Amino acid sequence: MSDEIIFGKNSVIEALSNPTREINKILISQNIHTDTKIEKIKELAKQRGIVYQFCGRDKFRPYEEFSHQGVVALVSPIEYLELEDFIEKKHENSSVVILDGVEDVHNMGAIARTCVCAGVDAIIIPSRRNVSINSTVEKISEGAVNHIPIIKVNSLVSAVQKLRESDWWIIAADAKGKDNYFDVDYNDMNFAIIMGAEHAGVSKSLLKLADFTVKIPMLRDFNSLNVSNAFSAIIFETVRQKLKKAVR
């Protein structure tokens, strides 16, 4: 069921704002007070011709496990973009993130939200051993998954090789990386940042394909950063460099 609903006011608003997202019906609880977000949901639903229905507790009983805020949208599964279709488009100083074994929905949602804020062009995930886009990820991302292409591939190694063949630079985050993440010049190139699972890290097969391996220096010898926090540090360094160059 969780893969066929969106829950939460912000998530539903963002899904409604995405004209390509198929939404079948929106359920609004009779037991919540209307506010600006509920009014926005009704307005957007009317504009798109999507039915919304005020319902009692019985209709919401199947969704009690979710923090739905009194709003649930019944949707078709999110559509994934083909890697080949993405590569064929013209890219200039673009960026993507490749997630290698990220299985925590909170990390996935946080990374998607960060990607949209930082202007990342796509998220690439493997079809196995990685969390897919589900309703929980969509809620945690505050609907950000509706504003960035998600690419699912059978082989990350093959995907990285295709990117390299199309003149993309590959940057892998690794605790034993050669360079500090802020010492790499991210300007004037298309690049993919590979982030691995918290414990396993980026797989050796992908590290071998990387043009750069970058680390985040630590002042204390402690456990590694949460993967979503580590990604935020790296990607916003790329944003800082781009903004700095733009004002020269």
Q: Of 36, 53, 75, which one is at a domain's C-terminal end? A: 75
How many C-beta atoms surround the C-beta of residue 12 within 10 A? Answer: 32
Which pLDDT band holds residue 3 (cuts at 50, 70, 90)? very low
Cα distances (Å, whole numbers) of residue 52 to 14, 41, 45, 49, 217:
16, 9, 7, 9, 50
Asked whether the predicted pLDDT for residue 2 surpasses 50, the reply is no
Domain co-membership, 93 together with 202: yes
pTM, rounded to two decimals:
0.84
Q: Which positions ≥6 away from 13 have C-beta within 8 Å?
A: 37, 40, 41, 44, 143
157 sits in which H/E element: helix 156-165
When pLDDT is averaged across residues 145-164 and rounded to a whole number, the result is 95
Q: What domain count does the chain have?
A: 2
Domain co-membership, 193 together with 233: yes
| pLDDT tens-digit series, residues 121-154 | 999 999 988 888 888 888 889 889 989 999 999 9
When pLDDT is averaged across residues 81-95 and rounded to a whole number, the result is 94
Q: Of 40, 75, 110, which one is at a domain's C-terminal end? A: 75
Q: Is 133 helix (H, G, I), strand (E, B) or coil?
A: coil
Domain co-membership, 99 together with 36: no
What mean pLDDT value characterizes the chain? 91
Give phi and psi for 160, each to the nearest 5.
-65, -40
Beta bridge partners of 6: 73
Asked whether the predicted pLDDT for residue 1 surpasses 60, the reply is no
Domain co-membership, 40 together with 117: no
Q: Of 52, 75, 98, which one is at a domain's C-terminal end? A: 75
Which pLDDT band holds residue 75 (cuts at 50, 70, 90)? confident
- Domain extent for 6: 2-75
CATH of the domain at 234: 3.40.1280.10
Instruction: Of 85-89, 172-176, 224-228, give the lowest mean pLDDT range.
Output: 224-228
Domain co-membership, 93 together with 210: yes
Domain co-membership, 118 together with 135: yes
Domain co-membership, 105 together with 209: yes
Q: How high is the pLDDT of residue 44?
A: 94
| pLDDT tens-digit series, residues 185-236 | 999 999 999 999 877 899 999 999 999 999 999 888 776 789 999 999 999 9
Domain co-membership, 124 together with 220: yes
Domain co-membership, 59 together with 88: no
Domain co-membership, 46 together with 118: no
Domain co-membership, 15 together with 132: no
Which tokens go with 164?
A: 């390299």
CATH of the domain at 56: 3.30.1330.30
Domain co-membership, 108 together with 206: yes
| pLDDT tens-digit series, residues 30-62 | 888 888 999 999 999 999 999 999 988 888 888
